[in-house]
Amino acid sequence: MESSILESVGTEIIGVMSPVSLCMLLVVLLVYSLSSSNPLSDPPIRTAANLVYIENPQDSTSQKLEGALLNALVFVVLIAIVTFLLVILYYYNFTNFLKNYMRFSAFFVLGTMGGSIFLSIVQHYSIPVDSITCFVLLFNFTVVGVLSVFSGGIPIVLRQGYMVCLGIIVAAWFTKLPEWTTWALLVALAVYDLVAVLAPGGPLKLLVELASSRDEELPALVYEARPAVSNSERNRRSGVGHLVGGVSDSGSVELQAVSRDNVDRRENRGNPEYTVVNADSFGSVEHEANDDAVEMLPLVGHLREGYGSSSGSSSEYSTVVVNRENEIVMEEEMSPLVDLMGLGEPTGRDALEDGVAASRGIKLGLGDFVFYSVLVGRAAMYDLMTVYACYLAIISGLGCTLILLSVCRQALPALPISITLGILFYFLTRLLMEPFVVGAATNLIMF
């Protein structure tokens, strides 16, 4: 009996959602276990995210609002400057410098920020570890992390694991920001993301286009949802600060594929490798593009089929023509606390080599991981109910973004929809739902 299509549809989406969920879960656990021990005992730390104003619980609301907005503005401007700097560096081919910078950033994040989180866990649970062991462990963890994140030949699982780790560490630091600043920052970043990726001249858009015209992967921290295909040795990613997700749609594997409009589109991109002719990428895109999101799922799910498990040997596709387009979702993230600013680089290159398509998975910038987790972590400081609501909202926003991706086939910002929904659901839950549910449940009334 043939396997039903239920098993293949949606695999891509789940491949992205599960690490995001894992990251959020761990951040929430971290926030819970660590914040309960020393509520508010931390003096506010001054970071890039609150240069202007340090929130003080006694300040009036308007002061807080003004300060938070200023903080967010300064932070976003900083990020924009750094991103433009990156674009310039990349434009003049300082790729090695960028990569090494990203390596350093990853080392720094894993070593110092990760180390301090590790220490506070050790303290909180009174784990008996001596300082030498602790140092050796931390050093090994960091070195393996840097290697796995930036070089080839490392199992994809390890790399994905470290990506999630980086996300968790940076997000855990962000949750130490004061409440108003966090909200203002999230909104500002979502807006910035939207502009940077979609507006003409936006830095992330420039980066993506530059990368795809050079047919190489940008150095940026990106989570790849599916096993990477062993393409030519590319710079994998780097950039601590940013995340970009490139999504490539691998085309469907149909023998008589009808060449669709995307063939032209590819040709426009000027990639030489398009010798392959018919590919029908996403045969279904056309099909009712206006349907609602749920209905689009098959399209995205479709991607999966094109590739064999991991290192896609090119021969697999020899008879089949596959089209693919890379799409890049970008997000940027920055790890502001430290002076690393985000460098978002999208990796969008077309992976057609010699007429063989190596398909690539959906990519999600680390920044998305971080800011989703920051939102959930902030929600965790209020109540579990808001955590669930925010989680569902973010995941559904991510789902919508992925579906849009399969429709638009260009790099999309992953933050705006999710963050908007997340914030909306947070306040709806907090203001409306909680009194209702608590009122009913404490009287043991349920339905």
Partner 1 sequence: MTVTAGIGYALLALGPSLSLFVSVISKKPFLILTVLSSTLLWLISLIILSAVWRAFLPLKSTTWWPYALLIITSVGFQEGLRVFFWKVYKRLEDMLDAYADRVSKPRLFLTDKMQIALAGGLGHGVAHAVFFCLSLLTPAFGPATFFVDKCSQIPFFLVSAFIALAFVTIHTFSMVIAFNGYAEGNKVDQYFVPVVHFVAGMLTLVNFASGGCVIGIPLLYVMAFLSLIHCGKMVWRRLTEHQIRQGNSL
Nearest Cα neighbor of 400 from 291, 303, 324 is 291
SS3 198: helix
Q: Which is nearer to partner 1, 29 or 81 (CB)?
A: 29
CA distance 243 to 273: 27
Nearest to 379, CA basis, from 390, 364, 370: 390
Between 8 and 311, whose beta carbon lies closer to partner 1?
Answer: 8
Residues 235-274 that bind partner 1 (CB under 8 A): 252, 254
| 368 flagged as catalytic | yes
- Binding of residue 4 to partner 1 (CB under 8 A): yes
Beta carbon of residue 282, minimum distance to partner 1 (angstroms, whole number):
11
Strand partners, 250: 324
Tell whether residue 286 is a contact of partner 1 (CB under 8 A): no
User: Within 10 Å of residue 436's Cβ, how many Cβ atoms?
Assistant: 10
- Told to check if 84 binds partner 1 by CB under 8 A, we report no
Q: Which of residues 355-394 bind partner 1 (CB under 8 A)?
A: 383-385, 388-389, 392-393
d(CA 319, CA 313): 13
Interacting positions 399-418 with partner 1 (CB under 8 A): 399
Using CA atoms, how far residue 233 sits from 48, 153, 318, 357, in Å, is 35, 10, 21, 16
Q: What character string, x for contact with partner 1 (CB under 8 A) and - otherwise, covers 119-148?
A: ------------------------------
- Smallest gap from Cβ 434 to partner 1, in A, equals 8
Q: Indicate the residue among 85 and 441 with the shorter CB distance to partner 1.
A: 441
For position 316 contacting partner 1 by CB under 8 A, the verdict is no
Q: Residues 349, 217: contact at Cβ < 8 Å? A: yes
Q: Which of 301, 312, 377, 422 binds partner 1 (CB under 8 A)?
A: 301
Q: Nearest approach, Cβ of 298 to partner 1 (angstroms)?
A: 4
| 369/167 Cα distance (integer angstroms) | 6
CA distance 242 to 415: 12
Question: What is the rounded distance in angstroms from the CA atom of residue 411 to the CA atom of residue 198?
Answer: 8
CA–CA distance, 121 with 232 (Å, rounded to integer): 41
Whose tokens are 């925010």? That residue is 390
Annotated active-site residue in 291, 339, 368, 383? 368
The region of 9-17, 51-59, 115-123, 213-221 touching partner 1 under the rule CB under 8 A is 9-17
At position 132, the amino acid (one-letter code) is I
Q: Which stretch binds partner 1 (CB under 8 A): 81-89, 355-363, 412-420, 425-433?
A: 425-433
Beta carbon of residue 317, minimum distance to partner 1 (angstroms, whole number): 16
- Per DSSP bridges, beta strands 356-357 and 352-353 are antiparallel
Rounded distance between C-alpha atoms, residue 154 and residue 147, angstroms: 8
Can you tell me which of 264, 286, 295, 354 binds partner 1, judged by CB under 8 A? Answer: 295
Binding positions for partner 1, rule: CB under 8 A: 2-11, 13-14, 17, 252, 254, 283-284, 287-288, 291-292, 294-295, 297-298, 301-302, 305, 383-385, 388-389, 392-393, 395-396, 399, 425, 428-429, 432-433, 435-447
Active-site residue set: 193, 368
